[in-house]
Amino acid sequence: MRDAIIIGGGHNGLVCAFYLARAGLKVTVLERRGVVGGAAVTEEFHPGFRNSVASYTVSLLNPKVIHDMALAAHGLRIVERPLSNFLPLDDGRYLKLGAGKTVSEVAKFSQRDADRLADYSRHLDGAADLLRALVLQTPPNRVEGGWLAALPELIKAGRLGNRVRGMTLSAQRELLDLFTKSAGDYLDGWFKSTPIKAAYGFDSVVGNFASPYAPGSAYVLLHHVFGEVNGKKGAWGHAVGGMGAITQAMAKAAQKLGVEIRTDSAVAEVLLDQGRARGVVTAQGERLDARVVVSNLNPRLLYTKLIDQAALPADFLRRMQAWRCGSGTFRMNVALSELPSFSCLPGRKAAEHHGSGIIIAPSLQYMERAWMDARTHGWSREPIVEMLLPSTLDPSLAPPGQHVASLFCQHVAPTLPDGASWDDHRETVADLMIDTVERHAPGFKSSVLGRQIMSPLDLERTFGLVGGDIFHGALGLDQLFSARPMLGHADYRGPVPGLYTCGSGAHPGGGVTGAPGHNAAREILRDVARGRRLPGLR
């Protein structure tokens, strides 16, 4: 009999499979699609043009996972962007961030803000360091039972408390701000000029259907800075070959250890026997038994669609049904005959700004309006668009002389008002996104040779992302750390013995990190070692 079945071959499922197999377990991964990788895949979307379909830029992927899985030896190469960000502005000016230029660029708008940058980065990095230290840890969990059961969790909480106590008072204040405030209030407290607040505030609305002035959005900003590229903290880069290069390397690493990967194998049901998970039934009706079942899915999808609801505690089920999902994200890939030329910085020859994250959203107020409009209208008529041109760093993605663009757009409503369907509005909104780029880069529209469109509904249908939620559940304080996915289940174990979660709906949340997969495997192996919950497992 198999030791473990993993439902879903997203990157976290593959990471979990790798660590379980490395410990000697016999593992099968069942993936619904024809390809593994989940939201981190590369596909040809127009003849001769390939790109990352959903997730498109890399930073959060944990260095330990990269090392343990020997991803470089399995073909992964990550390159840094030549410039972090470029913001074309409505008044004909622009802001560049990165490449040693940030201070002089910000000084164009405010010398006072430029003088504050180093202090800001130091404070933000201090908070990000705490997050970095926590991503590979299992959060302190609320447990049932007496003091003996609670003791390990108390020790964990004590260690965390000690770590926070070891920070300076000023760093603790910053941490409190970042965990409780809105990104807008946080950034207003640091800076005066509009473009720098827009550049930094953009991270707070990525995958977060909210105003940058919504309390809690500062955490989403922080969530996007705890990563690194090739050892450079906070940097974002490109995986050569697209995000699929990461998951293809992961699949190879897992298969080398004997993991069986089956694609086109959707799981229809988790099998229970006397209250514990014993295996699965696929959509084709095949029954596969295993000693443990691990889910890479959004927890709401797992617990409301794949399992006998009568087997779940009523309070758990009620809360899982209300697990907050929905990102406000609209994703496009565009095949281009030539690079865009921006009115504020003309030229179609590849320059550093073409290799950056180009943010079309000039202010926090613009972002707030985008959210308010999407709330009532269904999508923002002045949307936030980040555009990357990955073929400038990776010519393998497009025919010679031509390019691909990733458009990552916010805000759109996960579900349209008045019962309207995304199937009827996908093309209109895609046109709007192209027009939004055209406003800053005349001629962009006529350079478009083909396009791939992912509305929230398409993200749900294609990848199983509930409400198009890119993180498998909103990154709000109510759904983070010891509360991810629920108080009492932050240790990757659900209420059904033998059923674990290893996807982004578990700590530390979404992004291509590999961390939930890594941590879940550790907890499963702990149970194996203790012989607890897993009778019969070697």
Ligand X SMILES: Cc1cc2nc3c(=O)[nH]c(=O)nc-3n(C[C@H](O)[C@H](O)[C@H](O)COP(=O)(O)OP(=O)(O)OC[C@H]3O[C@@H](n4cnc5c(N)ncnc54)[C@H](O)[C@@H]3O)c2cc1C
Tell me how far apart the alpha carbons of residues 476 and 176 are, in angstroms, rounded to a whole number. 14
Binding window for ligand X (CB under 6 A); candidates: 68-76, 95-103, 415-423, 503-511: 503-511
Instruction: Tell me if 317 contacts ligand X by CB under 6 A.
Output: no
Instruction: Tell me if 492 contacts ligand X by CB under 6 A.
Output: no
Q: Least separation, in Å, of the C-beta of 127 and ligand X? A: 19
Burial 378-411 (b: 16+ CB within 10 A, else e): bbbeebbbbbbbbbbbbeebbeeebbbbbbbbbb
Instruction: Tell me if 196 contacts ligand X by CB under 6 A.
Output: no
Asked if residues 182 and 218 have their Cβ atoms less than 8 Å apart, the reply is: yes
CA distances, 40 to each of 10, 120, 124 (Å) = 7, 32, 27
The structure tokens listed for 24 are 């000697």
SS3 of residue 491 by DSSP: coil
Looking at 3, 4, 5, 13, which residue binds ligand X (CB under 6 A)? 13
Looking at 3, 4, 5, 8, which residue binds ligand X (CB under 6 A)? 8
Instruction: Tell me if 84 contacts ligand X by CB under 6 A.
Output: no
Task: Choose between 33 and 353: whose C-beta lies nearer to ligand X.
Answer: 33
Instruction: Tell me if 33 contacts ligand X by CB under 6 A.
Output: yes
Task: Choose between 184 and 456: whose C-beta lies nearer to ligand X.
Answer: 456
Residue type, 206: V
Instruction: Tell me if 4 contacts ligand X by CB under 6 A.
Output: no
Provide the strand spans (E) within 75-227: 78-80, 85-88, 94-97
- Tell me, rounded to whole angstroms, the distance of Cα 520 from its chain centroid: 17
Instruction: Tell me if 355 contacts ligand X by CB under 6 A.
Output: no
Peptide bond into 485 cis (omega under 30): yes
Residue type, 388: L
Task: Give the total of residues touching ligand X (CB under 6 A).
Answer: 38
Instruction: Tell me if 203 contacts ligand X by CB under 6 A.
Output: no
Looking at 22, 32, 291, 533, which residue binds ligand X (CB under 6 A)? 32
Q: Least separation, in Å, of the C-beta of 91 and ligand X? A: 29
Strands 78-80 and 2-7: unpaired
Looking at 74, 511, 515, 521, which residue binds ligand X (CB under 6 A)? 511
Instruction: Tell me if 267 contacts ligand X by CB under 6 A.
Output: yes
Task: Choose between 88 and 242: whose C-beta lies nearer to ligand X.
Answer: 242
Looking at 184, 279, 464, 488, which residue binds ligand X (CB under 6 A)? 464
Burial 341-369 (b: 16+ CB within 10 A, else e): bbebbeeeeebebbbbbbbbbbbbebbbb
Binding site for ligand X (CB under 6 A): 7-13, 30-33, 38-40, 54-57, 60, 266-267, 296-297, 329, 331, 408, 459, 463-465, 470-472, 503-504, 510-512
